[in-house]
Amino acid sequence: MKKVTAVLLCCICCQINLFSQATKADPRDTEGWYSASLKLDLPKKWESNLTYESRFYNNLQTHYGTYVSLSLGKALSSVFRLQAEYRKAFLNDGVTHRYSIGLEVAKKSKKKIEFNARLLLQNRVQDAFDPLEETKKTLFWRVRGLIKYPLHKNLDIYSSFEPIMELGVPKFIDNWRYGVGFKIKVLPKTKLDVSYLYRADYGKAKYNRYYNIIDVNVTHNIKLSKKNKKS
């Protein structure tokens, strides 16, 4: 298990070094996203997540802001799942609120490979510092495809891609995110998720931006049965 984890970490580091070769024409940066989550498995196939996240940019040297999010999900069947989320971000340039709603579809093959697709509609609202300024509102929709394979009973590896599209702008796709990572059980109810994301940002009118993102999350899971709920 330790050898497999070490190999996966080396692969992710190699990907970061490969894409971190900066050029004068295309600005590039390396970011770090670090988060901790508390997941509650609720009765009747409901679940809730509370997440605290801190992000760094400028090659991991400058703190960008913190994010607090609360999500709620409901499994409609073994394939379909509804989800909604509210996220508040305390950033260097202001406070933003993001509201999300979406549908997730997951299916496993006979070889235990999981194919996952997720469609999200998001509305981001940025508070204005000046009372005379208008509150900025941006509407996005995003589609993520993910393939996951259980390398070991306590270790999953996965790969994903996700276009992010801002409504009402000339460019159809605002961002692309490509990711590889692994999720490992470090304690009976705790999992560590480590991934590398390559994000191509086409939001600027005159030039494009590219980001190498190290994403680390620790999730602790608590299952609430009906007896625990009554007590």
CA–CA gap between residue 159 and residue 7 (Å, rounded): 16
pLDDT tens-digit profile of 109-147? 988 999 999 999 999 998 755 555 567 888 999 999 999
Is residue 17 assigned to a domain?
no
In the prediction, which pLDDT does 134 show? 62
Output the domain CATH number for residue 219: 2.40.160.40
Give how far the C-alpha of residue 172 lies from the chain's centroid of Cα atoms, to the nearest Å.
21
pLDDT of residue 110: 82
> pTM of the entire structure?
0.83
CA 53 to chain centre: 11
Number of domains in the chain: 1
Q: Is the pLDDT of residue 21 over 70?
A: no
Helix (H, G, I), strand (E, B) or coil at 132: coil
189 located within any domain? yes
> Residue 160: which pLDDT band, with cuts at 50, 70 and 90?
very high
Query: What are the pLDDT digits (tens) for 191-221?
Result: 999 999 999 988 776 778 899 999 999 999 9
Is residue 16 assigned to a domain? no
Asked if residue 13 belongs to a domain, the reply is no
Instruction: Indicate whether 144 belongs to any domain.
Output: yes
Q: Does residue 153 form part of some domain?
A: yes
Domain residues for the domain of 74 are 2-8+30-230
